[in-house]
Amino acid sequence: MVRTAKPFVTNHDDSPAYWQIGNLWQVMATGVQTDNAFCLLDQVVFADGGGPVTHTHTQDEGMFVITGQCTFNAGGHQGLVGTPGTFVAIPGDTEHSFTVDKPDTHILNFYLPAGFEQLLIGVSHPAKERKPPPRELLEEMLPPPWLADKLSEDYGETSILGNPFVDRPDPAKMLTKPTPGATLFPFISNSNNLESYTALGGCWTILASGEQTGGSYTLLEVRFRKGLVIEPRIYKDKDELFYIFEGNMTFLLGDKVLPATKGSLVYIPSTTVYSAKVESEGAHCLNIHTRSGFDEYIKYIGTPGKDQQRVAPKEDFVEKSVDAGARSRLLRKIGLQELMVGQFLQSI
């Protein structure tokens, strides 16, 4: 299949925005943009306003809590508390639900493959401002049940204890059961409890490994040092994304130079030569690779430090010594090529 996806940057303040059952949905990446491989939504919910009742969908889902708090239920596990820095992984066809515990909770949602964003757009209303909708509008914004049911059927959602786009959170409709015959299972992680690895001018925490996701994706949290330059590189058959929590970066994506700042999503499809520079005092990012493999590389070349504070390394940090041949073989295995400057200039 010939790929048509192009690199892009979507900014938090100018992304398409929608209201639905107490949620502000900001669409950062759609399947149309990513050859249907991936979609990502930026979600803000007020307490008692949002949170879906128990349902499943065919797509893998990931949820990262930026601010606030949610309580997640998934695959028979109830009451998983998600505070800032928490990531929740939901494999496809896994029963799940969640409730919002604090006002204006801010979450990132992504789905692999894409499609679920079209369901959400179809049951939502264009947002009049970039904050959750007024409470008095909740009822009138509910979609007709027939529309929610039809779109759910079209895009792989199955309502278990109610339709998540029509029914409000209810303790009786939030319980979940394990998936019969499952080989992948939901899990929850938080960078505060995980080992970090210092390498490539950053401090990396692996929130989701390829082993945990069946190779579907790898998710890392990274803090880059001031002035870091990510040398030119290209993935043969994987896409990469950065979501900027804090800081300013400049990305060279093919022949385009694009800025990215707090709230920006940077999408880099496979076969795109890219480079980047940290322009601010540092940068704090979420880094997603679809498919997995980069986590193996970071674990191999990185200096582990479970007890250290997760801070970006200084410019004079000495990288761990690794076998050059083994490093090259690992790069080939994951399809990542680091380019010399001459190769980079020829490619653009």
pLDDT of residue 50: 67
Distance between CA atoms of residues 43 and 312, nearest Å: 28
Mean predicted confidence (pLDDT) in 225-251 = 96
Q: Higher-confidence residue: 269 or 167?
A: 269
Model confidence over 293-343: pLDDT tens digits? 999 999 999 999 865 578 899 988 999 999 999 999 999 999 999 986 544
pLDDT of residue 343: 47
162 dihedral zone (left: phi>0; alpha: psi -120 to 50; beta): left
% the chain with pLDDT above 70:
95
Mean pLDDT lowest for which of 137-146, 288-297, 315-324? Answer: 137-146
Asked if residue 245 lies in contact with residue 261, where contact means CB atoms within 8 angstroms, the answer is no
% the chain with pLDDT above 90:
81
Distance between CA atoms of residues 74 and 90, nearest Å: 7
Domains recognised in the chain with CATH numbers:
13-188 (2.60.120.10), 194-347 (2.60.120.10)
According to DSSP, the residues that pair with 241 across neighbouring strands are 267, 288
pLDDT of residue 321: 94
Distance between CA atoms of residues 225 and 200, nearest Å: 10
Q: Higher-confidence residue: 272 or 141?
A: 272
User: What does pLDDT average to over the chain?
Assistant: 92
pTM of the model: 0.94
Q: DSSP string of 35-71?
A: TTS-EEEEEEE-TTT--PPSEEESSEEEEEEEES-EE
| Cα separations in angstroms, 60 against 90, 121, 314, 333 | 6, 19, 37, 24
pLDDT band at 344 (very low <50, low <70, confident <90, very high): very low
pLDDT of residue 47: 65
pLDDT of residue 190: 93
Asked if residue 7 lies in contact with residue 267, where contact means CB atoms within 8 angstroms, the answer is yes
Query: If you compute the radius of gyration of the chain from its CA atoms, what whole number of angstroms results?
Result: 20
Strands 202-208 and 218-225 come out as: antiparallel
According to DSSP, the residues that pair with 337 across neighbouring strands are 234
pLDDT of residue 345: 39
Asked if residue 9 lies in contact with residue 118, where contact means CB atoms within 8 angstroms, the answer is no
Model confidence over 111-136: pLDDT tens digits? 999 999 999 999 999 999 998 888 88
CA dihedral 222→296→313→230, nearest 10 degrees, is -70
Residues 6+ apart with CB under 8 A from 197: 203, 204, 205, 206, 298, 299, 302, 303, 304, 305
Q: What is the DSSP letter of 143?
A: P
Model confidence over 153-180: pLDDT tens digits? 999 999 999 999 988 888 899 999 999 9
Residue 326 host element (H or E):
helix 324-334
Distance between CA atoms of residues 181 and 188, nearest Å: 20
pLDDT over 90 (residue 237): yes
pLDDT of residue 22: 82
pLDDT over 70 (residue 348): no
